[in-house]
A and B are shown apart, each in its own frame.
Chain A
């Protein structure tokens, strides 16, 4: 499973990005998206295109964690979202190492976006990786989001951080990486 995580400020400015891979089930924590290296922007494209759905989803329940809100079948990209009360949005794109076999085979062949690197990733045995919409995955993402939220609040409390500014703190990046390693 590969992940792309992004934080958007309440005014839609991307303030933090990170790509990482799973550390569960023997994963080495390195992201291997099935895009050619030249198409990394695809992650941002997919993740930002889910914002409209997020805006609808945010009214469906009172919780901050909105779970899995969007899927982009051509790339088998699943988007989970977390909304802070102040309007900052945490979006997590996850892409399983190989496409789920059931029901998506038609899009597999049809997508020209998929690079060849996908074939090199090994199948993971962990349930988190195996099924992006399973309750276990949702729970793991929830834990991850909560931990990110905690770090985000602390970073936002730093007197030198201004709302809407890009988060450049290395401490924050380290914490997110650690949270990713721990839960995803």
Chain B
């Protein structure tokens, strides 16, 4: 399936099948969660990143079912198709953004998502304690969401941010790597 076709599907589902909620509500809710985590972990940003990723993982494992139910799409033929599906359908219907898929490695196992806009990070300014700018990945929950969602469709991946406009970088970029395809599980042997 081509990227343009994926865009069309994403657009169509976004228009017809998605309940919309106020963007500020989402932004403030997510911001509050991150701020609270920073407080709970005494600004140990490594730990905050980890917790966000974990929360995202739980969300992703549920969200994928909703994604499949709403989109009705089948299995992707290859990882390139998966990338387009994530960017043009997944992000589109859940956040109404469509990050650019780029920077593929030659083995087609790694790509980058470039976010022109990020609704989670509106209004956000990182704490000016001299460390948050270097350590906190504010939107790290998204990495977890991708990992959880793809795990459910038999792909083990690794995702992390490599740059974020909140830190003063020019772009917000997430790197996604395919680790392996997960085999079907067999029922446990009878004793």
A/B contact in complex, CB under 8 angstroms: yes
Which residue of chain B has the shortest Cβ distance to A170 in the bound complex? B128
Q: Contact residue range for chain A?
A: 10 to 19
Q: 1/0 contact trace for B56-95 toward A, CB 8 Å?
A: 0000000000000000000000000000000000000000
How many residue pairs between the two chains, A and B, have CB atoms under 8 Å in the bound complex?
33
Chain A residues with CB under 8 Å of B102's CB are none
Chain B residues with CB under 8 Å of A158's CB are 31, 123-125
Complex Cα gap A160–B37 (Å): 11
Which residue of chain B has the shortest Cβ distance to A168 in the bound complex? B128
Which residue of chain B has the shortest Cβ distance to A157 in the bound complex? B123
Q: 1/0 contact trace for A13-36 toward B, CB 8 Å?
A: 000000000000000000000000
Chain A residues with CB under 8 Å of B108's CB are none
CB distance from B141 to the nearest CB of A (A): 13
Residue contact A154 to B35, C-beta cutoff 8 Å = no
Which residue of chain B has the shortest Cβ distance to A159 in the bound complex? B31
Which residue of chain B has the shortest Cβ distance to A154 in the bound complex? B123
Pick 17 A–B contacts, CB within 8 A, sort by A: A155-B123, A155-B125, A157-B27, A157-B28, A158-B123, A158-B124, A158-B125, A159-B31, A159-B32, A159-B34, A159-B124, A160-B31, A160-B38, A160-B126, A161-B125, A168-B128, A171-B125
Sort A-B residue pairs by CB-CB distance and give the 10 closest, nearest first. A159-B31, A157-B123, A159-B35, A160-B127, A158-B125, A158-B123, A169-B125, A154-B123, A158-B124, A160-B35
